[in-house]
Amino acid sequence: MVKQLTEVSKFSLYVGIGLIFNFLSINPINAQSLVKNITINRQFAPNPLTFEGVSNGSISARDVVRIEETATGYCDGFVNHEPNYTLTLNSFFNYLKIEVESPVDTTILVKGPGGIWCNDDSDSTNPSIEGQWQPGNYKIWIGSYQENSVNNYRVKITQAN
């Protein structure tokens, strides 16, 4: 009887592992849904820092920040509930620029010390936020104009030399 249970248990284990691998091959885990944490200090290298990702989401950027427009632009597009990035600045930056490069029209939303900043088309269809940045934690969302649209992008973080 014990031997039969052991054989049944082994069979169940193998079937379970097979089902898990089958599920993962059909439904890959979306790494982009995980928040990427970035910490930078003064005179970081390389300059610019670059990160690649995928924009997608079903929540209006305006619903995330509860405002329509900031000093840097309108809060347009669709984003995920969680930010794509959490940026920690360990010191004051007199000039820092965060820009998004993508073959499609993307948006950016930044929420951190001192306020909220949104942008849509600072450079053609690519958004950016630039200026002085206080030390602290910033949440960054990269959005798309079409709801649930999946689009590749590259984020560049540049500081003045």
Q: Which tokens go with 122? A: 């600072």
Q: How many residues appear in the chain?
A: 161
**pLDDT, mean of residues 48-75:** 95
Predicted confidence at residue 7, as pLDDT, reads: 53
pTM of the predicted protein model: 0.77
For residue 95, the domain's CATH number is: 2.60.120.380
Q: Which helix (H) or strand (E) holds 12?
A: helix 2-26
Predicted confidence at residue 1, as pLDDT, reads: 44
Residue 47 has pLDDT above 80, yes or no: yes
Q: Are residues 44 and 14 in the same domain?
A: no
Residue 131 has pLDDT above 90, yes or no: yes
Q: Are residues 51 and 116 in the same domain?
A: yes
Number of domains, the chain: 2
Predicted confidence at residue 89, as pLDDT, reads: 98
Q: Are residues 85 and 123 in the same domain?
A: yes
Q: Are residues 10 and 48 in the same domain?
A: no
How confident is the model over 77-129, as pLDDT tens digits? 999 999 999 999 999 999 999 999 999 999 999 999 989 999 998 777 899 99
Q: Are residues 9 and 43 in the same domain?
A: no
Give the integer Cα–Cα distance in Å for 113 and 137.
7
Residue 32 has pLDDT above 60, yes or no: no
Give the integer Cα–Cα distance in Å for 31 and 117.
25
Residue-range definition of the domain harbouring residue 51: 34-159
Predicted confidence at residue 124, as pLDDT, reads: 78
